[in-house]
Amino acid sequence: MPQDKIVASASSAVADVPDGASIAIAGFGVTHSFPCTLTVALRKAGPRHLRLVANSLGENELRSISLVENDQVDSLVVSFSGRAGGGTSSAERMVADGRLQLELCPQGTLVERLRAAGAGIGAFFTRTGVNTAIAEGKEVRRLNGVDHVLETALPVDYSLIRGFRGDRFGNIQFRGNGANFMPAFAKAGRVVIVEVDEVVDEIAPEDVDLPGVFVDRVVRTDLTLPVDFIASQRKAPTTRASYDGRPAWSRAEMAEVAADMLPDPSYVNLGLGIPTLISNYIDGRDIQLHAENGILGYGELAPTDDYDKDIFNAAGEYVRLRPGASFFESVESFEMVRGGHIDVVVLGAYEVDAEGSIANWSRPLVGGAIGGAMDLVASGRDVMVMLTHLSSKGRPKLVRKCGLPLTGARCVTSVVTDIAAMRRVDDTYVVERVAPGFTRDDVVRMTDFPLDFA
C-alpha cells in the first residue's frame, strides 16, 4: 500500500528544495491555475540559483514572477517572459541587464518536452518553429516531405502544480479546464507537489485525472484568491481606429466579419486579443471553438456577474459552454492542432507579409510572448489573422516582407483588418469586403503589397 501522501503544510512540502534546483511551476496566463500557496512557501523558504520552467510567470507576490523578483532564479524556460496579456515584465528587464538567462519555448513544444521527460523519451521532431528563430542551432530534418525541428526532453527536479481535489494516494482531480498544463508539468518532475482546494480520503477511480503514481506530495491550499477579470473582458469591445478622420471597423465589427468567413461545420481555434471576440458571433452556427488551454466547445464571453472561474479561454477570459463541450490537458489540445484536427486558427499579429508569413511576437533578444502561436500555425490548416491595418505610427502592417521575427512562414490563408477582409488565393490576396467609408483605392494605398478584388 502506498504511503499517505498528504502533507500538513506548504512550507514542509517545499522544505527540501535546494539551491540550484530546476523547478517547473504550472499556471496559465496572468492569474489562472497557479499553485499560489506552494509558490509563497517557496519564496519564504528562499532557495537560490533556481532554474524555473513555466508557461507564464503570472503577476504579484502569489505567482512565479515573485521568485524572479526575489532574486531566487538564475534562468528561465518559458513561453511568456512578459506579461501574458501584454507589456514588459520585471523578468525581461532582468534579462536585458544580464541578470537572468532566458530560453523561450513555444507552448505546445514546452508541454511536449515535459511530457517526453516523464515518458522516457529523450527527444522528438516537431513542425513547430521551422523557419523561425526558435529553430536556430537545432537539427532540422525533412520527414514525410515536411521540415521538422529536433527538440529535447525537459526533466526537472521539482514540479509544483494545482488541482481541484486530491486524496491520500496522491490521485488528483481537476475541474473545468484547470487541467491545462498540470499533467505534463507533473510527469517531468522527480518530486511532484500538488496544491488542491479539497483533500479527501479517496477519489473515485473514474474521477481521477492524474494518477497518484505521478504525485509525491499533496497539500491543501491555505489562500483565498481573488477572481480578477482581465482588461479585455471588463471593457466593451468598441475600440476603433480612425484613418484620415474616418472611423474603421470596431474590434467587435471585425470579429463579426471574421465569423462570417468561417466555414460550417468547423473546429476553430481563437488566439489572444481581437480573435476571442469571435465567440460572441457563432450562435446557431455549427462551429466548435477550441482553446489550447484545454477546452473545446465554448461560446460567448461570460458577464462579470455570472461566470465560472474554472472555465476560461486562451486569453484567460471567462466563457460559456455550448452543447458538446469537453475539457482536456494541453498536450492533448496541441495534438488536436498539430494533428490537423482543427480546421481554422485565428490569431492576432504585428505583421503579415506578401508570402503569407506572420510575425506576432517581438523582442527576441530579451524575451517576448510566443505562447502557442507557433504550434497553431504549424497545423497545416487555414490560418486567419486579425489586426489593425496600420500601426499606431501610421505604418502598414500588411508588408512586403516581415521585419519582425517570424511566428510562421507562408501559412496565412486569410486576413481581417479594421478596413478590409481578404483571402490568399494562388499567392495573391483577394479583398472580399471593405469597411464603410473606405474605397478600394484606400485599401491599396494603405497596404504594402499588391491586392486583387473579388
pLDDT per residue over 126-161, tens digit each?
A: 999 999 999 999 999 999 999 999 999 999 999 999
126 closest CA partner among 153, 101, 91: 153
pLDDT at 233 over 50: no
pLDDT confidence band for 224 (50 / 70 / 90): confident
Q: Where in the chain is the domain with CATH 3.40.1080.10?
A: 10-220, 231-453
User: If you ran DSSP here, which 8-state letter would residue 372 be given?
Assistant: T
CA–CA gap between residue 187 and residue 156 (Å, rounded): 9
* Mean per-residue pLDDT over the chain, rounded: 93
CA pair distance 339, 83, nearest whole angstrom: 29
**Percent of the chain whose predicted confidence (pLDDT) is above 70:** 95
Phi then psi for residue 334, to 5 deg, are: -75, -25
The yes-or-no verdict on residue 109 having pLDDT over 60 is yes
DSSP 194: E
* 367: confidence class by pLDDT, cuts 50, 70, 90: low
- Element housing 384 (H / E): strand 382-386
Residue with cell 523578483: 69
As a whole number, mean pLDDT of residues 270-285 equals 92
Cα(243)–Cα(246) distance, rounded to whole angstroms? 5
Instruction: Tell me: pLDDT of 280 over 60.
Output: yes
* pLDDT, average across residues 95-110: 93
Q: Contacts from 44-47 at CB under 8 Å and sequence distance 24+?
A: 44/11, 45/11, 45/14, 45/15, 45/17, 46/72, 47/17, 47/18, 47/19, 47/20, 47/21, 47/72
317 catalytic residue (yes or no):
no
Residue 275's Cβ-side half-sphere holds a number of Cα atoms within 13 Å equal to: 26
* pLDDT-wise least confident of 201-210, 224-233, 295-304: 224-233
The dihedral through the CA atoms of 359, 365, 369, 373 has a sign that is: positive
pLDDT digits (tens, 9 = 90+) for 63-102: 999 999 999 999 999 998 876 545 577 888 898 889 999 9
Q: Give the pLDDT confidence score for residue 127 in this predicted structure.
A: 95
Cell of 397: 502592417
Rounded Cα distance between 29 and 54, Å, is 11
Distance between CA atoms of 291 and 298, rounded to whole angstroms?
9
CA–CA dist 301, 289 (Å, integer):
12
The residue to which cell 505610427 is assigned: 393
Q: Which residues pair with 383 in a beta bridge?
A: 345
pLDDT exceeds cutoff 50 at 234:
no
Which architecture does CATH list for 10-220?
3-Layer(aba) Sandwich (3.40)
pLDDT value of residue 361: 79
Is residue 308 within 8 A of residue 192, CB to CB? The reply is no
Instruction: Report the residue count for the chain.
Output: 454
Residue 223 has pLDDT above 90, yes or no: no
Catalytic hit among 59, 195, 253, 292:
292
What is the CATH number that goes with domain 231-453? 3.40.1080.10
The DSSP letter of residue 334 is H
User: Quick one: which of 308, 271, 300, 306 has its CA closest to 284?
Assistant: 300
